[in-house]
Amino acid sequence: MPFKEDNSNADKLRIELDEALTRLERAALDVRAKGKRDGGESGAEAEDRMNRLEAENRQLRDAVTKLKQQYEILEMEHQELQERAESADRELDDTLRQLDRLIEAETIH
């Protein structure tokens, strides 16, 4: 059942990607909240820092989204190859059975 294992692994990876994105978003919110609480930075410095963090978060989110899309494409290609391999196996089994029947028919005559 390697195909089911592959699907399970794909689902796990998809969940991990979603969780990573959630952690990034939470981290940005935590930094913003901490900046408001601490007040150690000037308003402009805090705003600049927050803008940089938000830009970095957007970049990371975009990267995760692209990776997820690429992974889904690879997953579909893998599924197609898996189906082709299973079809080829069935065809090979049929051919071998036909060959066995031909050999058996020849030995009888």
pLDDT digits 0-9 by tens, 19-31: 887 887 888 777 7
Determine whether 32 is exposed, middle or buried from the number of CB atoms within 10 Å of its CB (0-12, 13-18, 19+): middle
| pLDDT of 1 | 47
- The domain in which residue 37 lies consists of 2-108
Domain count of the chain?
1
End-to-end CA distance of the chain: 42
User: What is the phi/psi pair of residue 52, to 5°?
Assistant: -65, -45
| pLDDT of 60 | 85
DSSP class of 101 = H
Q: Taking residues 84-103, report their average pLDDT.
A: 96
- What are the CA-CA distances from residue 81 to residues 31, 67, 77, 85, 86 (Å)? 45, 21, 6, 6, 9
Lowest model confidence (mean pLDDT) among 32-36, 52-56, 80-84, 101-105: 32-36
pTM (2 decimals)? Answer: 0.53
